[in-house]
Amino acid sequence: MIDTTQMKPYDIPTAPAVETGPTRHPTRAQAYLLFLTVLVLNAIGQTVVAAFGLPFPIAVTLGEILFILVPVLVFLQIGKFDLRATLHLNPTTPQMLLLSVGVALLAWPLAEVLGYVTDLILSNIGPLPPLVPTPKSGAEALSYLVVLTIVPGICEEALNRGVMQRAFERQGLWRTVFYIGIFFALFHLGLYSLLFTSMLGGVLAYVVFKTNSIYNSMVCHAAFNMVTAVLLVLTYFGTIPQNFEDIGWLIPLAVVATPLLFLLLRYIGQLSGERKDEKVYVAPVDNSMVKGRFSFAEMALLTVIVVIFVTVALLGEVGTRVVCSNPQQFVRYIPNIVQICKG
C-alpha cells in the first residue's frame, strides 16, 4: 500500500493509492452533488437576500459567503476531505501571482467580445438590465470595487477550482479544462455569460492544474473582475462614457491580446514543468469514477444540473428580457418594473 502522506504533491504513483484518513479527495459524484446543492442554494438564497433590500455590496458578500463558501466548507468537513489538498491550498510565488494578473488582463478583452456577441443575439428577445445597479454615491461605487474584486475570487474559486477541479484532475489536463470551464458557465446561471464564463473558467482551471495552487486562480479571478469594476466606477465618476464596452475598440484589442494570452499560458506551463522536473501533475489519491467513463448515475446528475440551468436561464434572463422589451405592459403586475429594467 502506498503511503500517500509521504507522497510529494507532484509524484505519480505506480499503483492506485488507497483512500484513507485525511488524504481523501471528493469523487466526481460527490462533487456533482455539492455543485447541485450550491446551484439551488445560490439561486434561492440570492433572491431571498435581495428581498431584504440590502445594499448591493452587502447582498453580494452575504450571498457568496452563505450560499457558496459555507456549503463548500461544510461539505469538506462532513466528508472528512483534506482541506489543503482538495482546495489546492499550496504556496505559490510572487512571479506566478504577477503572471496570473497578466492572464486576467489579456483574457478580459476576449471575454468582453464573447459577451457582446452573446448579448447581440439575445437582444432580439429584449434588453438585459445592468447586472450591477448604479451606485448612489462615490463611497458605494468604491465599495463595488472592493466587493466585486475580492469576494467572488475567494468563494467561487473554492467551489470551482477547488472541489470541482480536484474531482476531475485524474481526467488529465484538457478534459479538466473543458469540464471545469463548462461547470463555471453553468454556475453563473445565465445565457449572456455562457461563452465568456466557460472561457474564463477553462483558463483558470489551466492555471491551477499547472501550478497546483488555487491562490493563482484567486488572484487571476480578482484581477479579471477588477478591470470591469474599475471601469464601472469610472463611469459613475464620469471619467469614461457609459458605453465603454464599445465593440469598435474591443475587437482590435482582443485580436492583439488573445494570442498573447495563449503564449502567457504556455509560459506558465513551462515554468511549472521546470519547477516540477517536467512531471505531469496527478492527484495522489484516485477515488474518482473510471477515467473517461460516465455511469448512468453520473449522467443523471449532470442532466439535473443542466435542467436547472436551462430552467433558471429561461425563467430569469429570457423572462427579464421579454419584460424589459416593453415594460409598460407589465407595470400593472410589477409596479417598479421600469426601475428594474433601468438597473
Q: 245-274: per-residue pLDDT in tens?
A: 666 788 999 999 999 999 999 999 998 875
Comparing 155-159, 283-287, 331-335, which segment has the lowest mean pLDDT? Answer: 283-287
Q: What is the CA radius of gyration of the chain?
A: 21
The total number of residues shown for the chain amounts to 343
**Is the model's pLDDT at 15 over the cut of 50?**
no
**Is the model's pLDDT at 295 over the cut of 60?**
yes
pTM of the model: 0.84
**Is the model's pLDDT at 153 over the cut of 90?**
yes
Question: Read out DSSP for 28-62?
Answer: HHHHHHHHHHHHHHHHHHHHHHHHTT--HHHHHHH
Distance CA(132)–CA(146), nearest Å, equals 14
Q: What is the mean predicted confidence (pLDDT) over 113-137?
A: 83
**Is the model's pLDDT at 38 over the cut of 90?**
yes
Distance CA(45)–CA(38), nearest Å, equals 10
| DSSP H or E segment with residue 275 | helix 247-275
Comparing 16-20, 109-113, 242-246, which segment has the lowest mean pLDDT? Answer: 16-20
Distance CA(286)–CA(4), nearest Å, equals 11
The 10 Å CB-count burial string (b at 16+, else e) for 111-145 is: bbbbbbebbeebeebbebbeeebebeeeebbbbbb
pLDDT value at position 330? 66
Residue type for position 163: V
The rounded mean pLDDT for the chain is 82
- For residue 16, count CB atoms less than 10 angstroms from its CB and return exposed for 0-12, middle for 13-18, buried for 19 or more: exposed
Residue type for position 48: V
| ∠ Cα 276 281 284 (to 5°) | 115
Tell which residue, 42, 112, 90, has the closest CA to residue 218. 90
The three-state (H, E, C) secondary structure of 159-187, written as one string? HHHHHHHHHHHHHCHHHHHHHHHHHHHHH
pLDDT value at position 290? 40
31 to 71, 212, 222, 276: CA distances (angstroms)? 12, 19, 24, 28
pLDDT value at position 142? 85
Tell which residue, 267, 283, 285, 284, has the closest CA to residue 275. 267
Distance CA(51)–CA(48), nearest Å, equals 5
Greater model confidence, 236 or 32? 32
pLDDT value at position 12? 36
**Is the model's pLDDT at 18 over the cut of 60?**
no
Greater model confidence, 247 or 312? 312
Q: What is the mean predicted confidence (pLDDT) over 109-122?
A: 91
Distance CA(6)–CA(270), nearest Å, equals 26
Q: What is the mean predicted confidence (pLDDT) over 167-175?
A: 89
pLDDT confidence band for 232 (50 / 70 / 90): confident
Q: Which residue has the cell 428580457?
A: 321
